[in-house]
Chains A and B, each alone.
Chain A
Amino acid sequence: MAANVTAPPFRVIPIIPAILPGAMEGLKPFVASDKIQEALGFPGELVEDWHDRAIAKMGELLTKYRSLKVYLDACVHCGACSDKCHYFLGTRDPKNMPVARQDLMRSVYRRYFTLPGKFFPKLVGARNLTREVLDEWYSYFHQCSECRRCSVFCPYGIDTAEITMAAREILDSVGYGQKYSNEIIGKVHKIGNNLGLPGPALEDTLAGLEEDVKEASGSDVRFPLDVKGAQVLLITPSADFFAEPHIDSLIGYAKVFHAAGISWTLSSMASEAGNFGLFIGNYEQMRKVALRIRQAALELGVKRIVVGECGHAWRVAYSFWNTLTGIGDGASDPFALQLQRQLDHRYRQPSHICELTWDLIERKAITLDPDANDHLVVTFHDSCNVARGSRMGEMPGGQFEIPRAIIRASANHYVEMQDATTREKTFCCGGGGGLLTDDLMDLRVKGALPRMEALKEVVDRDGVNFMATICAICKTQFSKVMPYYGYNMRMVGGVHQLVSNAIRLGD
């Protein structure tokens, strides 16, 4: 644990805290080096004419994204969002209220792009884009995890994530990028995953896993890599290959495929489900990362593409892959057409691993023994991008019901956390949106407060000792910050970790 970071105290009654102006002022994640920036085609350092370029970029984005334009115009400062952000609740800094965060950009938009802002800046709160404002952008647009919770409560559906993404895109375009996210995107382009794990290392890891599972279960569960002609291509966050507790879910997926007799493979070229292009709001980067997956699917000749437990990856896969690369239905470029012919359209493309597992459970193609998890009292943390930016199954809200149904089939003791903190109202873990970096530890610990309070309630009342989730970032974040709140880091884990414990392998 970092020495100078402490968890804020639990609120006795969770009332909305009073604002504390300046609480997080000046917080600044590491700035990307010129090497990192230039690898993505961004200027290496803050350019001389950053002011003009930033305003020009803003003008360009206003013509490309209706969301940005409408959201900058429509806000009436009603304040419905003001107490909804986990970073505000945890830090009390008023600039972490969604509306105030948006206003950091709205004030500049008004000054340069609207008549009242041009003529009466004071009246409408418009201001020039100064170096101080730019630094403020860098600071507070890296205190937003793009979780969309505010958009649930806004009467106009204003999504602060869209504004944060635009701000980061502008910052990148003037050479003021964030090290953590941009370095990771560079690694994906170069090596194929966020961790920079090369093919041979991946092969070793998977071979080791096969031995471990054989030892523990006695079954020959396979972890295939680059197998041409497999039915399923599994795209999973690279943390699943080595991080705890992620790896236990990877074992769970493998056991599901094994028990159901589905041939599957991982890809060394597309060994990453995560797509940090989303976090920096850059369409081209997001598309480039997604294209690796299309290429891998074409080369391996698979019939289905399935995505592992990762929140923002599922949002990108479910909501954007079809747009970006034609995975899904209705695309028209030659590669997409080839892929459409190749994929088996009796299945949803892409599918979430939870959709696949639940379908097998329903068809009784796999058997689960929930008694195997009797030592656990389980609760479920909805991950923000799954909850508010995607779906599973046929019905709206399937993204809430399907993971819960799998948990109930895998464990006998399950309880819900408070309604105001689950499903579409779920709180971000505090580490999403490109903030899962040690230089933001203070923010991450404070941002976890609302979730920790809801967890404490069910721990004290129901003896909950396991919080399941389906996101690699949530898993990493919680295992890192929970000790600050006095909880064991092993309390968090994947839904397929429970499946892994409960599944009958039948051989």
Chain B
Amino acid sequence: MAGILFAVLFYAAALILAGGLGFRIRDYLRTPAPLRIPTTPAPTTGGGVVLRMAREVIFFESLFKGSLWTWAFGWLFHASLAFVLMRHLRYFTQPVWFWVDAVQAFGVYAGLAMVMGLCGLWARRFLVDRVRYISTLSDHLMLALLILIAVSGLSMKFLDHADVIGVKAFFLGLMQLDPQPLPMNPLLYLHLSLVAALMIIFPFSKLLHAPGVFFSPSRNQPDNPREHRHIAPWAEKLESEA
């Protein structure tokens, strides 16, 4: 029974996540950027822009310049999350890819580091008066959700082992459109429900910062306005009117 319920939940969550993100990204792609507005000094070539974006996405370069504490906690959280996600690939691959095998041990430490990073980020929302002022209820809930996901996951590692073989069978079944039963475990149910909730919230929330950063004109435009004319379709229409 739980297997069917979670199968439906995850199919719905995956659809909403992919559909919602796809819709959003299509929207970003279709909206023109009528003026060249890179924050300078900026790279003058496309290759330079790729490097700038890579530094931004991998190292959070601007945040590093902006606030060391936020950078430290934020980067710790995101880097750990990346390892945790890699560790979880073992539930979706058969046979397990060799590099997924290799990061298994790191994944556990990353889970702990992720909680530390999230707690640091949350502490700032209480301790720094400026950040407290701008925090909304959803900012707090988002951190609570992520921490609960991490803690429920770690609990299955350290406190109450879930039947990982059964879990893997369930997810492989989902991917082959052949739903399998899900092992009975309250922590597992909590963990999976929260993950599904996160997937559903993603395209409607500030989590859009993940695709958004790639579409930020101040970061993704090369600085070459004198050499190359840059004009949006709606702006070009003004030329024939005049």
Contact = CB atoms under 8 A, between A and B. Distances in A.
- Same assembly: yes
A80 B70 contact: yes
A124 B138 contact: yes
A125 interface: yes
Contact of B36 (A70, A116, A155, A320): A320
A388 interface: yes
Contacts of A122: 137
Q: Which one of B65, B128, B234 has the greatest number of beta carbons of chain A within 10 Å?
A: B65
A79 B124 CA distance: 9
A16 B129 CA distance: 11
Contacts of B41: 391, 396-397, 399-400, 424
Given A66-B31, A75-B209, A80-B63, A19 B39 contact: no
A41 interface: no
Contacts of A424: 39-41
B62 A328 contact: no
B34 A156 contact: no
B28 interface: yes
Contacts of A291: 242
Given A152-B39, A153-B65, A125 B228 contact: no
A81 B34 CA distance: 25
Nearest to A148: B39
Interface string B7-41: 00000000000000000100110011111110111
Given A69-B27, A424-B39, A81 B213 contact: no
Interface string B211-242: 01101111100010111111110110011101
A64 B204 contact: no
Q: Is the interface of B mostly helix, strand, loop or mixed?
A: helix
B138 A328 contact: no
Nearest to A67: B217
A73 B206 CA distance: 6
B160 interface: no
Contact of A349 (B71, B128, B216, B226): B226
B235 A155 contact: no
Contact of B34 (A19, A318, A323): A323
B212 A73 contact: yes
Contacts of B139: 76-77
Interface of B: 24, 27-28, 31-37, 39-44, 56, 60, 62-63, 65-67, 70-71, 74, 124, 128-131, 133-139, 141, 204-206, 208-209, 212-213, 215-219, 223, 225-232, 234-235, 238-240, 242
Given A18-B129, A157-B62, 16 more contacts: A21-B133, A62-B31, A65-B32, A76-B139, A81-B66, A125-B136, A155-B66, A156-B216, A157-B219, A158-B216, A284-B238, A318-B226, A326-B229, A349-B226, A396-B40, A424-B41
9 contacts: A18-B129, A65-B32, A66-B33, A82-B130, A157-B218, A328-B229, A388-B39, A390-B40, A424-B41
